[in-house]
Structure 1
Amino acid sequence: MGGDAVAAVAAFEELLTDFIRVLGPDHPHTFTTRANAAHWRAEAGDSVAAVAAFEELLTDRLRVLGPDHPDTLTTRSNAAYWRGVGGDAVGAVAAFEELLTDQLRVLGPDHPDTLTTRANAASWRGRAGGAVAAVAAFEELLTDQLRVLGPDHPGTLTTRANAASWRGRAGDAIGAVAALEPLLIDRLRVLGPDHPQTLTTRGNAANWRGVAGDATGAAAALEQLLTDQLRVLGPDHLHTHNTRNNLAYWRRKAGDAAGQYVAGEIHTSPVAEEVPLPAHDLA
């Protein structure tokens, strides 16, 4: 999301003061405004304060709405997600797994929120050090998403990207490339060549190709990607900078010592996997 997250926090906090005065502390709009303020606090970089705010909101939603209300479950999801962003991946996994148990009971296994929670649990499990377990969880999720959502749904495509990324992180770079190349074909067909996720898939495929031993092929693919990112995203976009850095790295690995200085600083990490966002109260 673009915009001024700090200003959004201030605006929601001012609105919250008025909602509490006019509607009272337990009104649904008051709760939603508290959730929005917490969300934008996290987006502004203060995930610790956001988690504290979501946990306070959770206490009140449990009291007013009960444990099985969709808004209560949503608040638990947000608290878990931002706990992970704040550095507590193990705590995020535990929270998402507890949430998943309740969502399976309340919403059922095929509900979109249940599927999203499974994706978040898998992603944070990987970030907590369980790359192999993350691959297995994403592949199980993919089976269900193909059945429930279909092969071209954004959630299904994202799960394929995550499974491939964690396969690479688990040490199977060749397998990651093999998974990303058909995903790229599908994203080109479904999303088009200039969609951000299509570009991300190209970058990940190129980087894992390099990790798998083909530095020259990685550099060539990243050169083509950089041309398109400069056209679509512009020279100052973070992803454009990452591609320049990765291009420099793989040029050096391929033996082009001069080329690395033309492209930028060396950056060894492939683009991060696509973490599913939790549900939230944003209007």
Structure 2
Amino acid sequence: MELFAAQLADRIRVKGPGHPGVLSTRFQIAVWTSNAGDPVRAIELFTQLLADSIRVLGEHHPHTVATGYRLGLSARAAGRLDLAAEQFAVTHDEWTNRFGPDSPQARKAGELIYRIKAE
């Protein structure tokens, strides 16, 4: 984690905060934060990153959609089912439009929405 933080500081200094490489490093830090068992902090990181990704890349960019999906996973892990369902619905719509309703991506998002409603 410390290496990602150092890399992030270097990338921001050299390329600026809106560079795609900076966004990618921030994504990795948020993923590892969630994987390390801190979904609440990961929600904060993904929420900030999602806003910046929408601003820099656009709301339909695959990296933006992936950020929203990971935000949904962290929200579900933290028990924030309302936020998780919202993010999975957006992801489902994006992946359905991009890959089709029978794609593995769209099916996975739809399955997660179904599971949240059952919880």
Question: 1:123 maps to what in 2?
Answer: 73
Aligned ranges 1:235-274 → 2 under 5 Å: none
> Do residues 102 (structure 1) and 62 (structure 2) align?
no
**Are the counterparts in 2 of residues 132 and 167 from structure 1 also a CA contact under 8 Å?**
no
Secondary structure (helix, strand or coil) at the match of 2:89 reads helix
* TM-superposed deviation, 1:129: 1.3
106, 112, 115: which one aligns with 1:156:
106
* TM-superposed deviation, 1:145: 2.2
> Do residues 56 (structure 1) and 15 (structure 2) align?
no
**For the residues of structure 2 that align with 1:140 and 1:70, how far apart are their CA atoms?**
22
Question: 2:32 maps to what in 1?
Answer: 82
Secondary structure (helix, strand or coil) at the match of 1:139 reads helix
Secondary structure (helix, strand or coil) at the match of 1:141 reads helix
Which amino acid in structure 1 is aligned with residue 55 of structure 2? R
Question: 1:42 maps to what in 2?
Answer: none
Question: 1:68 maps to what in 2?
Answer: 18
Question: 2:83 maps to what in 1?
Answer: 133
**For the residues of structure 1 that align with 2:74 and 2:84, how far apart are their CA atoms?**
8
* TM-superposed deviation, 1:92: 0.3
**For the residues of structure 2 that align with 1:68 and 1:148, how far apart are their CA atoms?**
25
Structure having greater relative contact order (Cα 8 Å, sep ≥ 6): 2
**For the residues of structure 1 that align with 2:103 and 2:17, how far apart are their CA atoms?**
30
* TM-superposed deviation, 1:82: 0.5
- Bigger CA radius of gyration: 1
Question: 1:221 maps to what in 2?
Answer: none
Secondary structure (helix, strand or coil) at the match of 1:126 reads helix
Structure 2: gaps spanning 5 or more residues: none
* Alpha-carbon displacement from aligned partner over 1:178-209 (angstroms, at most 9, x marks no partner): xxxxxxxxxxxxxxxxxxxxxxxxxxxxxxxx
* TM-superposed deviation, 1:122: 0.8
**For the residues of structure 1 that align with 2:103 and 2:16, how far apart are their CA atoms?**
32
Question: 1:144 maps to what in 2?
Answer: 94
Structure 1: gaps spanning 5 or more residues: 1-50, 171-283
Which amino acid in structure 2 is aligned with residue 84 of structure 1? S
User: What is the TM-score of this pair, normalised by structure 1?
Assistant: 0.40
**For the residues of structure 1 that align with 2:105 and 2:19, how far apart are their CA atoms?**
24
Distance 1:102 1:132, change over 3 A: closer
* TM-superposed deviation, 1:153: 3.2
Which amino acid in structure 1 is aligned with residue 56 of structure 2? V
**For the residues of structure 1 that align with 2:83 and 2:35, how far apart are their CA atoms?**
20
**Are the counterparts in 2 of residues 62 and 72 from structure 1 also a CA contact under 8 Å?**
yes
* Alpha-carbon displacement from aligned partner over 1:70-101 (angstroms, at most 9, x marks no partner): 11111000000100111111110110010001
**Are the counterparts in 2 of residues 110 and 148 from structure 1 also a CA contact under 8 Å?**
no
Number of residue pairs matched by the alignment: 119
